[in-house]
Chains A and B, each alone.
Chain A
């Protein structure tokens, strides 16, 4: 019995640190709607800075003072990030801020190694909390008890802050209805900055408090960020109590789950999240989100098919690309093949995100299913390459059909997180089912057949399929189905009122996107000659998101350019420097600031403006629009 009590308390201690970080993320998201990917980076910075301070200043004051000072210092960094970077892009398309914070995260991962060195750092134990307390023969670390107490205390302070102060009331109001706060004449800028600072402070505090029990290292951010997102979503976005309950739930399920299934930790949080989202689509304590109001006038120009001239230009560019083998550089051709494959992958996500308005955080699942499909068919069934290339993507299709059915019942961030959960579940199956998938050692020797084995041949194959995939997706965009899909994205209310079954349309789109991703995955398996769980990992899903956002989420085919730029740069940087993350992250941040609508989106806007000013007088429509924009 004593054991179960202690196990429960241990779970509570884990929950406390999770809660600190999660509450910060939840507050930031609730008010600013920023999916703050850098939250883990702030957590890690908190730990690093606290390590330095607590090593430098001795004694209890040095320790506790160091912890708090570290959290404050990182909060200041957070304020700078908010003011210098995020403020510029609040009006960018949804999720664009994710791109900025992703870039920051990449940079921080390399920076901490540059500043603090590569070794794991083990900090001091907390003065006064070094030992353990005997509980019927079981030991409970006193620091755990401290954390257990701290969780509810922080919860209480936050509750008071939100219930009893004017600032807190504003924050709550902003969480429920952002437009209203803007209308109330509140200085929204500073409200956002202060909220961001508080969120970052909590993350850094969570990180700093890990010093006595963890090793500070440059991978801490990734360890926590996904888990924290999951906790926030399970609890319900913007709900602090929800974050607390979800942190406890996840930690306790883990503490007791490993007694029965020792391998459960790897997948547990995602299973919980999938179940919660299917049963309660807005999390345990969340409220249904009011559909985002689109400010009239801020929308994009209607999409149109390419003109004849543009078609010729695209064809010419394709022909130029097809002539690449004349350079007779096999490495370049494999890189070209890889880029073409990522064009397919990014285009498939773009279809779901831009046309369908469904941002998937787990799109790699269908890429991975395609490549595992190919690998299993080729190695276990010994089927020829051409058959595998056709059948492999069907595995992606089937996966998308099953998961998509549940995912499209949700929308917005909840949709994103459910797709992430499904992707992680698929990933962990690939990771754990060693007898079939080879586990993390993957499946080897999936090399292409002779007709496609030469780098030039494989390049032409990839390029051809990429061009075909992009053209087909474009045709679908401008087909009645594509319009119906955009209709469900633009106005769920109106589309339902004109007889459109949104869920079925979105489900179909999900299946199309999953299948095309499967095509990319199938080709990728042959390009690399092997498949690994990485092929369906979070980082691949994030890469795809970044490509789409970089190209421009409001464009018809911006993902193509986004994929080419990001992938080429990534391959080149990894080859040239060990600090590829720092440079790539810096580049992403620069792009975000310079091209707030993505590369293609910004170029389009520039071109549009030039055309507009060329056609002289502003239209009377525009004038009346400004009047009615109130």
Chain B
């Protein structure tokens, strides 16, 4: 039972971490390697509003998400737009921005244990004899709500439909009057805010540390590659595959193989099915 409960929790955590990355790539074909840095930025902004300016916790979170969304949009508007379509340059530029942000925080003295966020609901409960804290349960609930919201948003709102149009065929979308650059800005803002949302949900369980930015990026990339780059539903499914595989590895092989699971998943996917579970970019080659 503990494998089921903690496998589910771990999977939802991974899905939350990867959704923003998957969304940005799915719509604008942009691999946002600053994703991990934006995750950490959200944590530090929330912490600053909450601890330094002593704002309300919910207000701090909302403000942090808005700011991170704007930062993401600005990164696209002023940097990434210039290298759009050049895959290697996109990776280098976004990774460089992420690196500058993370190392900038470290240089400014944001290190140590001081930076923590409180859990939303303290305490724990026994589920089938297994102790689970309320915050983790809440994260699972919010994670499910976000997936449902994303589905609704991309199917029933004008912006969501425009984003889907872009994701399906950018040229056709342009012919229908959809501004591709504007949609890419929206996607980047939305993806950054999702990275921020993952941060404010998961960071209360630990500390806000610069190093988390690198780990989060690796996890997001592995989930998206397994799920199929560009497919956010694929990312959710891959999060469950990797999430449960990690927990099973911890139980049956040892905790130190946990990180290997994510990296092994990338290698295996690239060998067996380069497009991932729901990706389409190598579909033709795979069929042939």
To the question of whether A and B form a pair in one complex, the answer is: no
- Chain B residues in the interface with A (C-beta under 8 A): none
